[in-house]
A = this chain, B = another copy of it.
Amino acid sequence: MENWKDLQKALVQFRNERDWEQFHNPKDLALALSVEAAELNELFLWKKAEDADKEKIQEELADVFAYAILLAERYGLNINQIVLDKIRKNAEKYPIDKARGSAKKYDEL
């Protein structure tokens, strides 16, 4: 199963069984996403990337996906479409010949 629609259904069912939709306004969902992203980052704190605990990374990354998917659901967004749209925009901001091998932001290229 590699389809995000199935995940979205599972997450919505989990939420609805607990009557949590009342708390899930987009502002708090975005906040929750940020908190989970920070917990993921904490796993790398004071460390080299390769010394971080892969199992915990997996769990925190799952939480990040969960809130991101719920946010997409809240706004009726098609995840593939919005990411592909963004890739297209970024391809214009970061043309291959200018951006290759550079970590600079587009406005510094």
Stoichiometry, copies per complex: 4
Interface members, chain A 1-45 (any B CB < 8 Å) = 1-7, 10-11, 14, 17-20, 22-23, 25-28, 30-35, 37-45
Contact pattern, A 58-77, Cβ under 8 Å of B = 1, otherwise 0: 11011111101101100101
Residues of the B chain whose Cβ atoms lie less than 8 Å from the Cβ of A23: 46, 103
Q: Is there contact, CB below 8 Å, between B103 and A47?
A: yes
- Considering only CB atoms and an 8 Å cut-off, how many residues of chain A contact the other chain? 76
Q: Is there contact, CB below 8 Å, between B82 and A58?
A: yes
Residues of the B chain whose Cβ atoms lie less than 8 Å from the Cβ of A69: 83
**Distance (whole angstroms) from the CB of A82 to the closest CB of chain B:** 4
Q: How far is the CA of A37 from the CA of B41 in the complex (A)?
A: 12
Q: How far is the CA of A48 from the CA of B49 in the complex (A)?
A: 13
